[in-house]
Amino acid sequence: MFMANIRFKGSDILVLGAGVTGVATVRYLLSQGLQPVVADNRSQPPGRTQLVELLPAEQLHFGISLERIELTGFKRIFVSPGLPGNLALFDQARARGIELVSDIALFLRQIDRPLIAVTGTNGKSTVVTMIAHLLRRAGKQVLAGGNLGPAALDLLQQPVPDYYLLELSSFQLEWIDRLGAEVAVITNIAPDHLDRYDSFASYGETKAKLLRGARHVVLSLEDPQLRKMAMKLPADVSVHWFGEGRDSDRGLTTAAPLLAVPGLAGRHNQLNGQAALEVLRALGEISQLPDSWAEIWSGFRPLDHRMVLVGQWRGVDWFDDSKATNVAATLAAVEGVSLADDGKIVLILGGDGKQQDFSPLQRLLPRLRAVVVTGRDGEQLAQQFVGKVAVSQGVDMDEVVVQALKLVQPGDCVLLSPACASTDQYSGYQQRGELFGLAVRRIGELPNDGC
């Protein structure tokens, strides 16, 4: 049956997507005296309530097919990063000469202060939080946002800082040609989002866009992909390394030692702290920090669901690393845990695997007591370990925790580090981690012979 195109009236500006980015874009446009139209293919998008308060009903269009939007009359389209760049609507817009703009591109046009930009497969939110803390300890004003939140355009509603600091995902970088950051940081590159990208190479190329136009870059010496990226940088770009290793081609900028950051477990968080310090070194601000390590990190509050200790029961530590949504993050978490001499790990895995290769997880076997799987791809994960280590399964988080309790021994730890996205069962990794913490606290109420 023929479906007529949908024509909007009343504006020459279209905002596609009614999530966090869409809402921030609308707020900014309104502050500039502009009245956009908003469209989203979801009937109940996350930003619906806020947008209803901001715009009249005739400017809001939810639950419609984006491919049916009639573009006549539009001059600019603001795109949300969750939308894939290969939509036919975007090809039609380009053919008509309609400008496609992301919120980050708009943000870059407005700022006149140095920008620090961070991306990577894992650790980027933690590194952003660390950089913000260190700059404030150095006496600087910093506004941080982007993928971590708040949205970049919302930062423009606040007093101008000394530095802007953005976490940028690969989805956000798809829409950027040249970032021009004062310091660009890539924490690591590992396979992820292969349900969106044609190949790992394509994903890595998108991440590398962060480096375009940067004055300083901070990269991991331990990541071969990043060492290759450094070889392609212009000679006048200052390269700062973190991690352990040597780069004989570009030269090694002396890195800070690997030291534990208060409140964060794992060697990967030591690397995150080192990366954050290298940013301050690149900015020339490191001399403004307090003299002692304890004073430098005084007041630092780690982000939730990233190697957070949520319980200690019967000689067992229980860690929430729900943010580990890919294999590389889980590898880093398991390999970074400090264990007692005879201690091992009961590892909780599962969710939406995003078409990843799970076989690298087998290298963790020497550290594992058992594996508990759950979620859509739990069975696929179980096949990596069957016959090699004890494997159990849980339908929901309560059952998962009870199964882990049956398998764990004193001196071990239980680690929720799923290597998968959470949206097959939960609203996000946050809800998954919160339910894990609640389940752990409930087992603390069991009698010693319980379960």
The reported pLDDT for the residue numbered 246 is 59
> Using the 8-state DSSP alphabet, how is residue 352 labeled?
B
Percentage of residues in the chain with pLDDT exceeding 90? 78
Average pLDDT, the chain: 91
In this model, does residue 112 exceed pLDDT 60? yes
What is the C-alpha to C-alpha distance for residues 169 and 146, in angstroms, rounded to an integer?
Answer: 9
Cα angle, residue 35 at apex, residues 34 and 36 outer, rounded to 5°: 115
| Range with the poorest average pLDDT among 29-33, 372-376, 439-443 | 439-443
Residue 247: per-residue pLDDT: 53
pLDDT of 3 higher than 90 = no
> What would the mean pLDDT of 320-329 be, rounded to a whole number?
94
Confidence (pLDDT) at 249: 54
Reported confidence tier of residue 266, pLDDT bands at 50, 70, 90: confident
Catalytic residues: 124, 147, 193
Where do the domains of the chain lie, and which CATH numbers do they carry?
Answer: 11-103 (3.40.50.720), 111-296 (3.40.1190.10), 308-443 (3.90.190.20)
CA–CA dist 24, 62 (Å, integer): 17
Q: Looking at residue 285, what is its pLDDT?
A: 98
What is the tens place of the pLDDT at every residue in 334-372?
998 888 888 999 999 999 999 999 999 999 999 999 999
Burial class of residue 244, CB neighbours in 10 A (0-12, 13-18, 19+): middle
> What number is the average pLDDT over the span 432-440?
96
Residue 255 scores a pLDDT above 70: no
Indicate if the pLDDT at residue 259 is higher than 90.
no
Furthest-apart CA atoms within the chain: distance in Å: 72
Q: For residues 401 and 209, what is the distance between their CA atoms, to the nearest angstrom?
A: 41
Q: Which has more pLDDT, 101 or 10?
A: 101
What global pTM score does this model have?
0.86
Q: Which two tokens stand for residue 155?
A: 């930062």
What is the structure's pLDDT at 339?
87
Q: Which of these ranges, 88-97, 310-319, 432-441, has the smallest mean pLDDT? A: 310-319
State whether residue 218 is helix, strand or coil: strand
Residue 309 has pLDDT above 50, yes or no: yes
For residue 450, the model assigns a pLDDT of 37
Q: Please give the DSSP secondary-structure letter assigned to residue 222.
A: T
Q: Which one-letter amino acid corresponds to residue 341?
A: D
Quote the strand ranges of 199-292, DSSP E.
216-220, 238-242
> What totals of helices (H) and strands (E) does the chain contain, helices first?
15, 19
Q: How far apart are CA 134 and CA 415, in angstroms?
A: 29
pLDDT tens figures, 153-192: 999 999 999 999 999 999 999 999 999 999 999 999 987 7
Among residues 185, 223, 222, which one has the least CA distance to residue 207?
A: 185
User: In this predicted model, what pLDDT tens digit does every residue of 14-50 receive, in sequence order?
Assistant: 999 999 999 999 999 999 999 999 999 999 999 999 9
Q: Of all residues in the chain, what percent carry a pLDDT higher than 70?
A: 94
* Distance (Å, whole) CA 283 – CA 311: 39
d(CA 288, CA 308): 29
Which residues, including other chains, have CB under 8 Å from residue 261's CB and lie 6 or more apart? 130, 269, 270, 272, 273, 297, 300, 302
Q: How far apart are CA 35 and CA 259, in angstroms?
A: 51
